[in-house]
Amino acid sequence: MLTRRRFTRYSCNLKGSFRCRGLTTPCQLENISVGGALISLKGTLEEPVRRGYKCVLTILEPLGKPPLHITAKVAHYAFTLIGLQFESDNPDAKERLKTMSKQNGLTFSDGFSYD
């Protein structure tokens, strides 16, 4: 069976927020990779999201560290689950994601360039 995933996804238990089209709601990261994430919304949005919408995922780090903001686009959605594809033009976010992953016991080694 062929997989369409470019990067390995890792289960995680991180909290954050999802902002799309001016609306923000809390979310829980279900899994994450260097290319994207699956989130579950903790609330509802007043307007439905659509595939291709630009958005911002904010990941809240433990221990009072500043949150990580990652620009993304909606890849798929179903009820309160939203699949996100991260934008590739944010090197600062990539470096923070790499650091965060190490602190949470994940190793992103799927050919992802961090420089």
User: Residue 79: left (phi > 0), alpha (psi -120 to 50), or beta?
Assistant: left
With H, G, I as helix, E, B as strand and everything else as coil, classify residue 99: helix
> What is the CATH number assigned to the segment(s) 10-103?
2.40.10.220
Q: What is the pLDDT of residue 106?
A: 59
pLDDT tens for the chain, 115 residues: list them.
455 666 777 788 889 999 999 989 999 999 988 888 999 998 777 788 999 999 999 998 777 778 889 999 999 998 889 999 998 766 677 777 777 766 666 555 443 333 3
List the domain boundaries for the chain: 10-103
CA distance 94 to 41: 23
Q: What is the pLDDT of residue 88?
A: 73
Q: What is the pLDDT of residue 14?
A: 85
